[in-house]
Structure 1
Amino acid sequence: MTWNPPHSPDSPARARSAADLRRRLAWWAIAACAPYLTLKLLWIVGVDIGIVDTGKISRGQWIAANLLTFVMDAVAAAVAHALTRPRIKRGRSWPILLPLWIASGLLGVIMIAVPLSCGGALVGGSGNPFAGDDLLRGWVYAVVYSGFIIEGTVLIGAFALYAHERWGDFLRTRVRDLPALPERRRPLIRYAGVLTALLLLTAAAPRLLWASGGDLGMTDAWTANRDTNARWLDFTQGVLALVGCAGTLALVLGRGGCRTRVPLSAAWVGIGGTFGAGGWMGLISLTAAPGSEAADRTSVLLTLVYTAEMTTGLLALTAGWYFLSHSTAHTTNVTRTMDITGTVDPTRTAPTARTTRISAS
């Protein structure tokens, strides 16, 4: 059976308008990175602006931590700059996709959790995420979190426009009409997808329990430092895990009449948030010195949750990469062989070597 993609190319004027908007959003993303990068650079060179007390953190640890986070945001700025280029569609896609998936996950958690915390503070009068603490002054959190929210909004917007420019036909295809995976690899991809969904549920359950006020598996040091901000963060991560689970199952099972962009966006943001935030906090707890606050608050259950969140991301990365490579290659090749009447020559629909990878499509 010949698969016919929903070939509905935008008009040249509309395509140019979308490309112009993509470039403007990308430039705004670069500008939004500037305050955070400036603060990090000042702290690295020894200018302790906005710092109250680094406590037990040594100078070497302080520089290493700030250097790592500086590089992470600098990569986001570099990707944003790549999205300003007029011929970005002609290059390989993986240098854009991989860092943007991680960035959209990390920033997505902040974009949801911080406004929720602010709303909770306005209603309940506690848990203000912009309040200072023993480490940093309040204005630092205000500048950093505001910058992250703006950066995430415009960067994800620019990437969405780029994705539709490059893989519009694939994203407009209904899930039930996606091309079938190769027979010998189909079960493996489906098993990986189902396992990913189960791990997401495993991570979501304790997160939502902790968000509701439960203390299952918590250490004394953990419960002593809990506030409403931490609960909103758990709530956000739990909901994102459920969203990622729903999107993954929709894609793996191949059922439903919605456009592919809907479950793919859910899986992209949900799994990205689970992997990004969980992986980051897991890395902190793994490298924490014995007796430190991060080490004292880490329990067996929390370690298992971090492990599930990181494993989820790695599974989704490998299985999802193959799924997207196959689907976008097939879509691209069929679209190129479509004639002016909208029919497809079935002798020319097999994917070629040049379009079998999303990085070269």
Structure 2
Amino acid sequence: MISTTENQTARLTRMRKIWGYGAAAAVSPYLLIKIAWTFGLFMPTSQMGDPSWRTANAVTMVLAAAGILLAMAFCRPWGERLPSWLVVFPVWVGTGLLVPMLLLAPVLGPAAIRRDMGTGSADYWVYEQVFVMLSLVGVGICLPLALAGYAKTRWPESLGGPIDCGDPQGNTRQLQFSLARFVAGGCILLGVIKVFWALGGTLGIDPVMLGDRDLWWRLLSLSTGVWAFAGAWGILVLTSRRGSRRFLLPMAAAWISSGMLFSYNLFNQLSASRPDAPNAPEYPLAQVLTVEAGTVLGVMMGMTLLLVLHDRRRALRGESK
């Protein structure tokens, strides 16, 4: 029995190292490109020399460097001694950004290259785009797998086991369910709007901008809508403990959905502040309301998920009623 446990631990440690080093290697080309752009080298368009672009590239350069450090933390013993908040927040944002993009990359990558080349970007931008996409796909695959091994070691209650583990003393289940119903209602409404727009609906779209609804915009709208529905399902299942026998699937749905809604909508707000940012096809009010709603819903879903995990950990430790 002891030998079997030791073998499982050794196998888990080995897989954490493989995926952690793989994530660090995958994000390295992205980091190098961002460093070059931050210092004004190999920029595909003159617009990227604008201070707002340079600032955005510097921010993403720091995020890429943080991603490498995080990947190393997942596969090294010192990573298990880091404060929880220092790991959880960047992982939440990172998985929210990367997992949905991983599913869209086979279509969005070529579409982005065609769109940028049509606007007069330099020829070497194609090669830079390929490196960027390969980095995002690589880290989108490796980082969540390294995270799974890390979480299984440090927070085993967050991945495995049945969905209902009982209630600890002083639990927050009623608060969780109230928050979950509010969040799920907002996510369903947001999901309906986004899917409606992605499928060609024009309510809330500026008639002058109908021709600007390209494949990129439609796929991102559809992705947001689908993940909003997934998050609504996941958070309701987690708080009601009905709809799934196992904890992992609704946990993953709520985790990725909340991170996606927060990070993508925050990114949209930052992108819209650039002087060369394209105008959104939506009416300004509709665009602001959906972006702000997505950000708030992502944060609220994440907070509800933390309450669920906190009570679950206490219940598994035997602090039941």
TM class by smaller structure = 0.7 to 0.9
Pair 1:304–1:182, CA change in 2 (3 A): farther
Counterpart in the other structure of 1:74: 65
Match of 2:295 among 310, 318, 321: 310
The answer for the alignment partner of 1:3 in structure 2 is none
Matches within 5 A, 1:316-327: 316-327=301-312
Gaps of 5+ in 1: 1-8, 119-126, 335-348, 352-361
Partner Cα distance (2:235, 2:10) in 1: 33
**What's the CA shift for 1:303?**
1.2
TM-score (norm 1): 0.79
Of residues 65-74 and 160-169 in structure 1, the stretch that sits farther from structure 2 once superposed is 160-169
Please identify the structure whose Cα radius of gyration is greater.
Answer: 1
Which residues of 2 match residues 18-167 of structure 1 at below 5 A?
18-47=12-41, 49-54=42-47, 59-117=50-108, 128-131=111-114, 132-133=116-117, 134=119, 135=121, 137-167=125-155
In the alignment, which residue of structure 1 is the partner of 2:11?
17
Measured in 2, the distance between the counterparts of 1:260 and 1:96 equals 21
Q: CA deviation at 1:63?
A: 1.4
Instruction: Map residues 177-192 of structure 1 onto 2, 5 A cutoff.
Output: 177-180=164-167, 185-192=172-179
Count residues in correspondence: 314
CA distance in 1, matches of 2:166, 2:263: 30
Matched residues in 2 for 1:75 and 1:192: separation?
32
CA distance in 2, matches of 1:87, 1:172: 24
Which has the larger helix fraction?
A: 2
Contact 2:167-2:320 within 8 A present in 1 as well: no
Alpha-carbon distance in structure 2 between the residues aligned to 1:186 and 1:164: 24
- Return 248-257 or 154-163, whichever deviates more: 248-257
Any gaps of 5 or more consecutive residues in structure 2?
none
Instruction: Tell me how far apart the structure 1 counterparts of residues 210 and 198 of structure 2 sit (CA, whole Å).
Output: 12
* Structure 2 Cα separation of the partners of residues 139 and 19 of structure 1: 35
Q: Pairwise CA RMSD of aligned residues?
A: 2.6
Identity of aligned residues (%): 24
**Partner of residue 6, structure 1:** none
Q: Are 2:221 and 1:230 equivalent residues in the alignment?
A: no
1:278 aligns with 2:257: no
Aligned-residue offset at 1:256? 3.9
Output the CA distance in 1 between the equivalents of 2:4 and 2:260: 31
C-alpha separation in 1, matches of 2:175 and 2:211: 44
Moved over 6 A (4+): none
> SS where residue 11 of structure 1 aligns?
helix
Give the superposition deviation at 1:61: 1.4
